[in-house]
Structure formats: structure tokens, C-alpha cells
């Protein structure tokens, strides 16, 4: 048995998602490990899925809690679908519905060579800075983002430091010595 399989019944959110996307290839995997409803989707469908999550009255995810990315350069075995898709990154969205008081995690695997995905700024303005951060630290390109530039680091910085192949202490000082 894989680590994410829990064997419990689906939560209403998961049931609704499975119902909506039945027969399509959108959902790669769904699970509720440790009670966290999780869906893994095709990156091309991210606008569709997140738009549905926001607008569907039964789901009504009105707060985008978090957008981040993960680099599975050496750890793709954690999620076998990464290996089958040949993906390296995963963009992770955490949503919360204040109205219905439920949460969901949406993940979209991305390939190393073209880490780009649609921006969701038009759905939630809070995605603006989160996506800029993911671009800054992981180099994920968000298509359609109005202002995709570095946010935590400076423009002169080369590379994306949270990628696993970026050495932890590789400094690029603007002034002063390297170490």
C-alpha cells in the first residue's frame, strides 16, 4: 500500500471534484492523506480546475491560502506520478473556503525543461505575490502574470536558490566580498 492511501470515504469536496472531472484526464491522482484533501491535476488544466473550485457554489473556495512550488530533483520517488510524467517541479495551491470551512490542496506537476503554468491572479489577486515568489525562488513561469519579476531577491541575482541544484551557500553579493 502506498503512503497516501487511507481507504476512508471521500469527503464532499473530493466527491464533487471526482463527479465534475469524471471521464477527463484532468485528475491524475486524488487522496486524503492525514485528512488533507489533495488532488493532482494536469498543469494545462489549472485555470479550469481552480476556476471551478472558486466558482462552484458547493465548493466556494474564496481564499487562496498559499501558492508554492516544490523541487523533486532527487526525491521524485515520493510521488510516483512524477516519474511517469517525467516531471521535476510541482506547483502546490492551498485553498480554503471561509463559507464552507473546508480546505483542499491542488498540485500540478511540471517538467524541468518547461516549468510554466497559467497564472491564477485573475481568480485571486493574492496569487500575485505568491506566484512572483515561486518564480523568484524556483523559476516557475506563470503565464499571464501581470508583473512576473523577482520579489524576495534582487534583480541581479542569477538562478533560483530553492532549486535543489543551487548550492546553499552560493552567494551573489551586490557589494562586499563573496563570503
Partner 1 sequence: MGMTPEEKALGDSVIFTQLDKVIGWGRKYSFFLYPFITACCGMEFMSVAGPRYDLDRFGAALPRFSPRQADLLMVVGTISHRQAPILVKVYNQMTEPKWVFAFGACTVSGGMYDNYATVQGIDTLIPVDVYVPGCPPRPEMVLDGLILLQEKVAAQKGQMSYAKGMAPVGEADDRIITGGEDSI
Partner 2 sequence: MTEQAKRNYDFHKEHHTELLTVNMGPSHPATHGTVKFMLALDGETIENIDVEVGYLHRGFEKECEAQMWNGVFPYTDRLDYLTSVLNNVGYAMTVEKLIGITTPERCQYIRVIMSELARIGAHYTTLAAGALELGALTAFIYFVEAREMVWDLIEATCGARLTHNYVRIGGLTGDLPDGFAGNVKSVFATCRKLWLDFDKLLTKNRIFLDRMRDVAAISAADAKAWGFTGPCLRAAGVPYDVRRAQPYLVYDRVDFEIPIGETGDNYDRFQVRMEELEQSMRIVEQCLTQIPDGPINVNNPEWRQPSKDLSSTNIEYMIHHFKTVMEGVHVPVGEVYQAVEGANGELGYYIVSNGSGHPVKMRVRPPCFPITSALPLLIKGRLIADLIPTFDMLNLIGGECDR
Bridge partners, residue 91, by sequence: 69, 108
Sign of CA dihedral 150, 151, 157, 159: negative
170 is an interface residue for partner 1 by CB under 8 A: yes
Considering only residues 26 to 55 of the shown chain, the ones binding partner 2 according to CB under 8 A are 33-34, 36, 38
Closer residue to partner 1 in complex, CB, 34/168: 168
Contact segment (CB under 8 A) with partner 1 among 26-34, 74-82, 98-106, 160-168 equals 160-168
β-pairing verdict for 102-111 and 87-97: antiparallel
Cβ contacts of 179 within 8 Å, gap of 6 or more: 169, 171
- When the beta carbons of 77 and 179 are compared against partner 1, the nearer one is 179
Distances (CA, A) of 56 to 17, 49, 51, 129: 10, 10, 8, 25
**Footprint on residues 68-127 left by partner 2 (CB under 8 A):** 68, 70, 72, 75, 77-78, 92, 94, 96, 98, 101, 103, 105, 124-126
Query: Which of 8, 153, 164, 165 is in the footprint of partner 1 by CB under 8 A?
Result: 153
* CA–CA dist 17, 26 (Å, integer): 10
Cell triple for 118: 497559467
| DSSP assignment letter at 11 | P
Q: Is 156 in the site for partner 2 (CB under 8 A)?
A: no
For partner 2, the binding residues (CB under 8 A) are: 3-4, 33-34, 36, 38, 62-66, 68, 70, 72, 75, 77-78, 92, 94, 96, 98, 101, 103, 105, 124-126, 128-130, 133, 137, 150-154, 161-162, 166, 168
Amino acid at each position: 500500500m502506498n503512503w497516501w492511501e487511507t481507504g476512508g470515504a471521500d469527503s464532499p469536496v473530493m466527491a464533487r471534484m471526482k463527479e465534475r472531472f469524471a471521464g477527463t484526464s484532468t485528475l491524475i491522482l486524488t487522496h486524503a492523506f492525514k485528512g488533507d484533501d489533495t488532488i493532482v491535476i494536469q498543469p494545462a488544466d489549472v485555470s479550469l480546475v481552480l476556476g471551478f473550485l472558486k466558482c462552484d457554489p458547493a465548493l466556494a473556495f474564496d481564499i487562496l491560502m498559499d501558492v508554492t512550488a516544490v523541487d523533486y530533483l532527487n526525491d521524485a520517488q515520493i510521488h510516483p506520478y512524477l516519474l511517469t510524467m517525467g516531471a521535476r517541479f510541482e506547483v502546490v495551491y492551498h485553498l480554503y473556503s471561509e463559507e464552507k470551512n473546508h480546505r483542499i490542496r491542488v498540485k500540478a506537476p511540471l517538467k524541468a525543461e518547461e516549468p510554466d503554468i497559467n497564472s491564477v491572479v485573475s481568480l485571486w489577486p493574492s496569487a500575485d505575490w505568491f506566484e512572483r515568489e515561486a518564480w523568484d525562488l524556483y523559476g516557475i513561469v506563470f503565464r499571464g502574470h501581470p508583473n512576473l519579476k523577482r520579489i524576495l531577491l534582487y534583480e541581479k541575482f542569477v538562478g533560483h536558490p530553492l532549486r535543489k541544484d543551487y548550492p546553499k551557500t552560493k552567494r551573489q553579493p551586490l557589494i562586499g566580498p563573496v563570503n
